[in-house]
Amino acid sequence: MLEFEITAIKNKTNQGLLYYDFDENIDKAREHAFKTCRQYNKGLLNKEDVNAKQVKNLFGNIGSNVTIAGSFLCEFGFNLNVGNNVFFGDDFKIIDCNLVTIGNDVYIGKHVGMYTSNHAEEPNARANHWVKDLPITIGNNVYIGDNVVIGPNTVIGDNAVIKSGSVVVKNVSPNQIVEGDPAQ
């Protein structure tokens, strides 16, 4: 995608306001990311020589020593800002319709989902495909266990631990260990 197209999409999705989700340019960006992720995952599954650079090129910013295991899926990619020494476990799904910032030295387990997006709460707006997106920020030295769900508008502080099976819908303080649904 061209930079001006990405900027136009970000001007809609990254404002924290309702917008129409089936916009033509948004659909185009989404399909590009899905196609790139499918090709990457298919190559891993078939044990082909896979070029991770292809999927990493979707990212807004990406540090060094970032590992992306199989079954990776992102909505756009250009809203992802990832630090150094980050591991994404198998079946990592990220709906990056707003900014997602992941610090350095972060481990993300298997079957984790991060979701910046929520459909409109008002029934008519929801039926007409209006959505609202809010950012997710993950600090440095964070451990996220398997089967964790992280919702929009959350900040996970440095050195935090999110235990397996947790649902994070509120901020997690630095050095805090949380678990459960909701995580606390």
Annotation marks residue 111 as catalytic: no
Sequence-distant (6+) residues with CB within 8 A of 57 are: 36
Tell me which of 32, 111, 119, 129 is the catalytic residue. Answer: 119
Query: What amino acid occupies position 93?
Result: K
Describe the crossing of helices 24-45 and 3-13 by its angle, rounded to 10 degrees: 110
Q: What is the distance between the alpha carbons of residues 28 and 170, in angstroms, rounded to a whole number?
A: 32
Q: In a 3-state reduction of DSSP, which class is residue 176?
A: coil
Calpha distance 166→153 (Å, rounded): 16
* Closest to 58 measured CA to CA, from 42, 46, 73: 73
| C-alpha separations of 43 from 36, 38, 49, 92, 111 in Å | 11, 8, 7, 16, 19
Active site residues: 119
